[in-house]
Amino acid sequence: MTEIVKVDEKGRILIPKKLRQKTGVKEGSYVTIRADREVILVQPLKPIARKYFGAFRIAKWPEDLDEFIVEVVKKWWTPEAM
């Protein structure tokens, strides 16, 4: 699917709705932009959470997730764990 769009004075382009829908790009989504000679590639960046969705079962979420993560990392980095 190819579309022709105009670049505005600030170098911005509008991604047509059909292309956004096809690729899953929504407001607030992140994309990577790469240049290869005369080609500019815009590629959606998928959230890392999708990759691991359903991989782990949580019986009960901790009250303070940040504190929980710090404790888990400390356990992973102890000499006994390595």
Q: What is the pLDDT of residues 18-41, one digit of tens each?
A: 999 999 999 988 999 999 999 999
How sure is the predictor about 81, in pLDDT bands with cuts at 50, 70 and 90?
low
Say how far apart CA 30 and CA 27 lie, in whole Å: 9
Contact indicator for 41, 33 with CB cutoff of 8 Å:
yes
Span of 2-6, 8-12, 61-65, 78-82 with lowest mean pLDDT: 78-82
What is the C-alpha radius of gyration for the chain, rounded to an integer number of angstroms?
21
User: What is the value of pTM for the model shown?
Assistant: 0.55
- What is the per-residue pLDDT across 48-79, written as a single tens digit (0 to 9) for each? 777 777 777 778 878 888 888 898 888 888 77
